[in-house]
Structure 1
Amino acid sequence: MVQRSMNRNQLHDQNLRLVLQQIFNNHPTSRIEISHQLHLNKSTVSSLYNTLMAEGYLTELGLGEASTAGGRKPTLIEINRNYGYTLTFDLGYRHLHALVTGIDGHVRQYNRIKSQGKSIHEMVDQINQYIGQVQHDDTTSHGLLGICFSIHGIVNDNQVKTSPFIEMDGVDLEQVFGTAYQVPVILENEANLAAIYERDFNGARHLNSAVTISIHSGIGAGIILHRDLFRGEHGDAGEIGRSVASIQMDGAGNPHPVHAEDVSSEDAVIRQVEERKGLKELNRQAIVKLYQAGDPETTEILRSFTTAIAGLIYNTMRTLDPDAFYLNSPLVEELPALLASIKATYQQLAANDLSIAITPNARLATVLGGCSLITHRVLELDGYELNFTQPTEEQTEND
């Protein structure tokens, strides 16, 4: 590979991004600390700092403590949280999840809006109404800066290829919202966003590779390899829910595959319990109560569920060999005994102690991953590692 040196402008732009990254990841900080961390001379850092300050990205907090060697006290700085905000929407099967975050990555508002049974056109109207409300209450200097959409389906080149739970009906979300609000619009698969959440907010911060398996209405995997999201050539990487669990032959000798998510997704578990017990319109909370009450049919079905998930983890481990696995599953989060069963079965299959952990606060994983993705884009820091802070319960209690 041919190495090419950067010209002066390219070097300036790179250093500008490095300074912005340092301030984002180490707030509050100071120019002298940035100089030490980046090994840049003070005059260079001051020039870059002045550029970022003039553009409104930074705010000064006052004087910090002087060093042990004495000298002037440094001026502390951080990202200007009043510069603007981003929005992330998770187009879920039952709810539209909406997250407002400042450009500093801190959560400002979270809402869950009922959307089950609504068409994509009605959901677009809901989103526009929500944006209008946020804009009405906004007091930042630059307002809305970017939008991310979490899609329960396959996304490639910022377009929805397939969406099994929502009929897109030709709606181009990037075109619709990019035109309406004149901001960057990013579409990403929800399992991929859950993996980004683990990398930038949570347990995978210090890992080189990790796989997050999302278990909801379907099953998908978000794959982080060498710290980068792996999407595959056509956006299909991680569609492990569509892997073949078994093949049934009909009377004419034609094969009919049974996919993993047909038997081991959350919806599949609910459907099986309904069929076995002759019940209708059960939900996750009902399954949790039946299991906690010791219901034998539910216990048997969930035992099969944990065995199937352990098998999926084993097969994915053999293909990708990651450092760790994370399960983004509200059902497993509410029933920790299921995680123990999954771990035990996996260890019997693999004979190793690979880390398998639950994603905490699973309901927010995809929208927080979207926050990271759109914040990187707005700050023009794609490819730069940014560390985000977990939101407090107060910030996300509006549910």
Structure 2
Amino acid sequence: MLVKKINQKLILKEIVANSPISRAKLSETTGLNKSTVSSQVNALIEKNLIFEIGQGQSSGGRKPVMLIFNKNAGYSIGIDIGVDYINSILTDLKGNIVLEDFQQLEGQTAGEMKDILFLKIKQFISQMPESPYGLVGIGLCVPGLVNSEQKVIFTPNLEWDYSLDIKSLIEQEFKVPVFLENEANAGAYGEKEFGAAKNYDNLVFVSVHTGIGVGIIINNELYRGVRGFAGEMGHLTIDLNGLKCSCGNRGCWELYASEKALLKSLSKQQEKLSNQDIIQLANDNNPEILMALQQFGFYLGIGLTSILNTFNPQAVIIRNNIVEALPMVLNSIKNSVSSRTYQQLENNYELLVSTLGKHAPALGANSIAIEHFLEMFTA
């Protein structure tokens, strides 16, 4: 029985990654014999996870019948709870976004946040297309410490009631598995599955917002640390006698290189600007904004140097609206890093901006839920 399940999982994984694909090709790529492939394919067809489509190219003899993953067999929800926003998506089982909703927030309590979450989920369920399995799971992420029991235990920039077990509450209400993850970890996972990091096995994802979060992938696996707290590098000390941080430390990286720090560095007239205003003023060559952005890139580079020296990744991916929109900021980061790293390191990594943008964390959290569904199916 166990061997059958392992074989089925192997075949499904291959079809998800490479469909349309023939039974003969499956046998070749998995190393399983044709009768095993045939029986497991029939089982997956019965479960509505795959289906047959028209014939493929013949290499001599009969044309093969092609198999395709049924991405519409069910749907999943991914929700990124930010410091001042909530970004929600509904996707099919291949991570294609079917519905999306972005809402700015201001000073909500944890109780109000719970009500907003429930409302968003109910709205998505009511608009979700018909499917054999309906809603298969929900992935949530937050900007803070999430322990290995999937409980939020510290959010330095977000008001949160730590006694609130949001995962259990949502599971009880909607009767589907819920997965809670740190926002930067989810972003790293999203970029690995769907974005700029697809071709890298070792990467670091740096999320720059009110604070700075870091998601680490080593040998294709998300590195969470012993209790789930790995990646809190926004609290790396870059100034021994620096400013006091909400985490209890002094001189933390995010006090100098976050969006909050960028706004703080602007004059009184400019410090209420939105990201979009900053981007526009930079494109208009506003001298104060250009100088502040240069400093923003400089400080980001200081922390990134420590990350590169610590992890030696193939790629570092930066998720930030301003960095994504303004090449000058990325250049400033690169200059700051290259002036601090030894020459041998310089051409051995890629410094990239996120290709998924604001959807990276929600897609990552969402894909954790999808993976669990497909694993359970063949477990």
Structure 1 distance, partners of 2:338, 2:288, is 25
- Alignment correspondent of 2:160: 168
1:262-306, Cα deviation, whole Å (9 max, x unpaired): 111012101221xx2434522112222232233333222222211
For 1:220 and 1:341, locate their aligned partners in 2 and report how far apart those are by CA, in whole Å. Answer: 20
Shift of 1:178: 1.0
Whether the aligned pair in 2 keeps the contact of 1:84 and 1:103 (CA below 8 Å) is yes
Match of 2:303 among 291, 312, 328: 312
Contact in 2 for aligned 1:119/1:167 (Cα 8 Å): yes
2:96 paired residue number: 106
**2:260 match:** 267
2:126 maps to what in 1?
136
Gaps of 5+ in 1: 1-8, 383-399
Corresponding letter in the other structure for 2:27: S
Give the alignment of 1:268-283 within 5 angstroms.
Answer: 268-273=261-266, 276-283=267-274
Residue aligning to 2:371: 376
Match of 1:78 in 2: 68
Q: Take 1:104 and 1:298, find their aligned partners in 2: how far apart are those partners?
A: 41
Question: Which residue of 48, 55, 80 corresponds with 1:63?
Answer: 55
Letter in 1 for 2:282: Y
- Where do residues 111-190 of structure 1 align in structure 2 (5 Å cutoff)? 111-138=101-128, 139-157=130-148, 158-169=150-161, 170-190=163-183
Task: Give the conservation status (yes or no) of the 8 Å contact 1:191–1:220.
Answer: yes
Separation of aligned partners in 2, 1:185 and 1:43:
37
Aligned length: 366
1:326 aligns with 2:317: yes
Give the % identical residues.
31
TM-score, normalised via structure 1 length: 0.87
Which aligned pairs between 1:289-368 and structure 2 lie closer than 5 A? 289-350=280-341, 351=343, 352-353=346-347, 354-368=349-363
One-letter amino acid of the structure 1 residue matched with residue 356 of structure 2: N
Structure 1 residue 256 displacement after superposition: 6.7
- In structure 2, the residue corresponding to 1:49 is in which secondary structure? helix
CA distance in 1, matches of 2:362, 2:256: 27
For residues 179 and 22 of structure 1, the distance between their equivalents in structure 2, rounded to whole angstroms, comes to 34
Relative distance call for 1:375 and 1:160 in structure 2 (3 A) is same
CA distance in 2, matches of 1:190, 1:349: 28
Matches of 1:132 and 1:305 in 2, distance apart? 40
Residues 115, 123 of structure 1: 8 Å contact kept: no
Verify: 1:50 aligned to 2:45, yes or no.
Answer: no
**Aligned pairs (5 A) from 1:245-256:** 245-248=238-241
CA RMSD of aligned residues (A): 2.0
**Could you say if the C-alpha distance between residues 194 and 249 of structure 1 is closer, same or farther in structure 2, counting changes exceeding 3 Å?**
closer
Aligned amino acid, residue 257 of structure 1: R
Q: Distance in 1 between matches of 2:51 and 2:139?
A: 26
Given the two structures, how large is their TM-score scaled by the length of structure 2? 0.91
- Structure 2 Cα separation of the partners of residues 206 and 335 of structure 1: 24
Aligned CA distance change for structure 1 residues 133 and 247 (closer, same or farther; 3 Å): same
Alignment-derived partner of residue 237 in structure 2 = 244
Distance in 1 (alpha carbons) for counterparts of 2:360 and 2:85: 15
Is this contact kept in 1: 2:141–2:183, CA < 8 A? Answer: yes
Question: Any conservation in 2 of the 1:277–1:297 contact (CA below 8 Å)?
Answer: no
Contact preservation (8 Å) 1:155, 1:235? yes
> Alpha-carbon deviation of 1:19?
0.5
Does the CA-based 8 Å contact 1:120-1:166 persist in structure 2? Answer: no
Alpha-carbon distance in 2 for matches of 1:123, 1:97: 12
- What secondary structure does 1:257 align onto? coil
Give the aligned partner of residue 279 of structure 2: 288
**Aligned counterpart in structure 2 of residue 23 of structure 1, from 9, 15, 18:** 15
Task: Give distance in 2, aligned partners of 1:184 and 1:110.
Answer: 20
What is the match of residue 189 of structure 2? 196
Query: Is the CA contact (8 Å cut-off) linking 1:247 and 1:256 kept in structure 2?
Result: no
CA shift, 1:215, in A, is 0.7
Report how far residue 127 of structure 1 moved.
Answer: 2.2
4+ residue runs over 3 A deviation: 277-280
Of the three residues 88, 94, 97, the one matched with 2:78 is 88
